[in-house]
Amino acid sequence: MTRHGLLWLLAIIVIFLFAPLLINQADYESCVESELATAGEWYDGKEVQTILDRTNRLYGAAMVSTGIDPLIRKHFVKPMPSKEVAPGVMLPKAMTPYAEHLMEYWGNFLYNIWMFFFRVAHSWSWIVYLTPFLAAILFDGVMTRKAKLASFKYTSPTVYNISWHVIIAMAAISMVAFAVVTPLSVFFYPAVITFMGVLVRLLISNIQHSA
């Protein structure tokens, strides 16, 4: 399990490192603006602002307080220098867009991480919304297991193992999706959380009698 976790973490790091080389700053901005616009259609302005505030707190704790963001902005985020590659020799026009894109790399890198935390913050809002459902489904799982223990009914290790592995896979895939620069539907969050809640119910209700 640890090995799989490291592989998923490596996948996220690879996206953070290489996506800024392939994606323009305008695409990052368009992606975030699209998700904000969709959120504005489904939530009121106060809730959208709450998500943004939570995003900035997460980003601040992970990137600003640690000194990573200030360090990158001070030493690596620079405006496009002169287009002269040598005294009197201008950079070819065909190369200018690529050079400008490379100069945006570190800014895009930070934007990608901010977007990741924005989606984490967004998902947390849905966890809060779905708290009554999650509490009910967890209670049902516990009571179902107790009923099975009292009546000596079969608890399936196969269902337990499959549920556990699917929960981990869904959590990992969601984290990778949070790092990808593609707009996520507002329904992505409740769908994943609800399905994971159902799986947790199956997991709890099929814990082995000896556990």
What is the average pLDDT across 122-134? Answer: 94
Map residue 87 onto helix, strand or coil.
coil
Tokens for 163, please give them.
């549920």
pLDDT, residue 85, reads 41
Secondary structure letter of residue 85 according to DSSP: E
Q: Are 180 and 15 in contact (CB under 8 A)?
A: yes
Q: Are 117 and 58 in contact (CB under 8 A)?
A: yes
Q: Which ranges in the chain belong to alpha helices (H)?
A: 2-22, 25-42, 45-59, 68-75, 96-103, 105-129, 131-151, 157-179, 188-205
Q: By percentage, how much of the chain surpasses pLDDT 70? A: 85
CA atoms within 13 A on the CB side of 135: 5
> Between 209 and 125, where is the model more confident?
125
Report how far residue 170's alpha carbon sits from residue 111's, in angstroms, rounded to the nearest whole number.
Answer: 24
pTM for the structure as a whole: 0.85
Report how far residue 11's alpha carbon sits from residue 177's, in angstroms, rounded to the nearest whole number.
Answer: 10
Secondary structure letter of residue 94 according to DSSP: G
Q: Are 50 and 126 in contact (CB under 8 A)?
A: no
pLDDT, residue 210, reads 63
Give residue 9's pLDDT band: very low, low, confident or very high (50, 70, 90): confident
Tokens for 39, please give them.
């959120």
Q: By percentage, how much of the chain surpasses pLDDT 90? A: 60
pLDDT, residue 99, reads 44
**CA neighbor of 168 nearest in space, from 47, 31, 46, 9:** 9
Q: pLDDT (tens digit, 9 = 90+) per residue, 38-93? A: 999 999 999 999 999 999 999 999 999 999 999 998 888 766 554 544 444 444 45
What is the average pLDDT across 165-177? Answer: 93
Residue-wise DSSP of 30-59: HHHHHHHHHHHHHS-HHHHHHHHHHHHHHH
Amino acid at 134: L
**CA neighbor of 137 nearest in space, from 163, 155, 158:** 163
